[in-house]
Chain A
């Protein structure tokens, strides 16, 4: 098997301690949580940190809870818990959709939402989910916390707003009325990265869409946020023609690259198909929450 290069290891006992360790060790230090993005990269020697700071003991970052008019998720929450959460399934069923197709059940016992978001692979399903839900994330450093919108969180491929000496601690989702959400993904085989994936969220006011969030995974350098489509949807009644227009925007506004998963034209086409499908399901869920 391929094996990692040598490094130092320490285990954080508090969030402050983790942040202090990152600061002290400098840019060669990396956080390890689930490790299922980082450790494979280290085995392939694509990542060679000098220090690993293990944050798996920080139980205070592992939670899903309703707080006021928000649902808050700790960054260390495991995929399997996001999948099983009835609170999320009730308020944001998009999570259960996505988690069923993220990696495989064994990986899901370890991988975390914080790790997925910070990995910032354009194909990360949860990045699209959080973007569609217009999540805000909390980043903590040695001089305090700041709250960042998802649009500002993903800066580029494998790059986020989390700076040196900082830690992502929480994801916040506004719980607004009339919500429906869904995630659609096509992959070559179970557990594979998406060829394309679409996350859609709507907030209905009566029969019309008051607000919408649509994001795409795997069809750009980073998560694609379809602002143009959201603009189009606001104030309109759902319908196939409207969603077909959204599909058109989705296929135009993404920038996929050709690779083993597919050529550019197919990915564009898929982005459109899945955006429409996700939107359709999100709207149905919003209008028929009992189903």
Chain B
């Protein structure tokens, strides 16, 4: 069957099997391999993308279910050579080691900050609790997201003058 959705701002139409999971649609059909997978049971969060601005575990959605929706993957964070503050924050605060959970964590963070621009540490920890990281112990991820919140605000201040 044909599905049409917006992926990273671009309208895409492809022929898919109904059973094709969104994560495979992104990785295999669209060659956007930045979204990862790490489990079979929707627990690890490596596959998180944004659908209509809200975090979604792409291993638990069919591509068909995303027809007509807007999907954003990690590849959308950098715009015109400028890194998203979330990406910068992860780099500043050493919030990644092997990098495998990182796209899912960053998209979750982006979704959080778009809803709640000034989260407390507790709110950040809750927001990322649907993702597992084996490398960092989360401390630096929390610091990175807090940095991104502060720098998002700065960027917005600059824009509004």
Q: Of all chain A residues, which has the CB nearest B1?
A: A9
Q: Across the interface, do A1 and B59 meet the contact criterion of CB distance under 8 Å?
A: yes
How far apart are the CA atoms of A39 and B60 in the complex, in Å? Answer: 6
Output the least CB separation between A104 and chain B (Å). Answer: 3
Q: Across the interface, do A109 and B60 meet the contact criterion of CB distance under 8 Å?
A: no
How far apart are the CA atoms of A36 and B43 in the complex, in Å? Answer: 11
Residues from chain A with a CB closer than 8 A to the CB of B70 are none
Output the least CB separation between B31 and chain A (Å). Answer: 17
Q: Across the interface, do B129 and A40 meet the contact criterion of CB distance under 8 Å?
A: no
User: Which range contains the number of B residues in contact with the other chain?
Assistant: 20 to 34
Output the least CB separation between B64 and chain A (Å). Answer: 5
Output the least CB separation between B60 and chain A (Å). Answer: 5
Residues from chain A with a CB closer than 8 A to the CB of B55 are 105-106, 109
How far apart are the CA atoms of A90 and B89 in the complex, in Å? Answer: 37
- Name the contact of B19 in the complex, choosing from A3, A40, A105, A191 (C-beta under 8 A): A3
Q: Across the interface, do A40 and B18 meet the contact criterion of CB distance under 8 Å?
A: no
How far apart are the CA atoms of A1 and B41 in the complex, in Å? Answer: 9
Residues from chain B with a CB closer than 8 A to the CB of A3 are 19, 21, 24
Q: Across the interface, do A39 and B62 meet the contact criterion of CB distance under 8 Å?
A: yes
Assess A40 versus B42: contact at CB under 8 Å? Given A11-B67, A106-B48.
yes
How far apart are the CA atoms of A2 and B56 in the complex, in Å? Answer: 18
A89 within 8 A of B: no
User: Which of A7, A44, A107 lies at the interface centre, i.e. has the most chain B CB atoms within 10 A of its CB?
Assistant: A107
B117 within 8 A of A: no
B130 within 8 A of A: yes
Q: Across the interface, do A190 and B129 meet the contact criterion of CB distance under 8 Å?
A: yes
A and B contact pairs by CB, cutoff 8 A, 30 listed: A1-B37, A1-B40, A3-B19, A3-B24, A4-B21, A6-B18, A9-B1, A9-B18, A32-B62, A32-B65, A35-B60, A35-B62, A35-B65, A36-B60, A40-B40, A40-B42, A40-B60, A43-B40, A54-B64, A54-B65, A104-B45, A105-B55, A105-B127, A105-B129, A106-B130, A107-B42, A110-B57, A110-B61, A191-B43, A191-B130
**Shortest beta-carbon contacts, A-B, top 7:** A104-B130, A9-B18, A106-B130, A109-B54, A106-B55, A2-B40, A4-B19
Given contacts A39-B61, A110-B56, 7 further A-B contacts (CB under 8 A): A1-B39, A4-B19, A35-B62, A35-B65, A103-B130, A104-B129, A106-B48
Which residue numbers of B lie inside 8 Å of A, CB to CB?
1, 17-19, 21, 23-24, 37, 39-43, 45, 48, 54-57, 59-62, 64-65, 67, 108, 126-127, 129-131
Which residue numbers of A lie inside 8 Å of B, CB to CB?
1-9, 11, 32, 35-36, 39-40, 42-44, 52, 54, 56, 80, 103-107, 109-110, 190-191
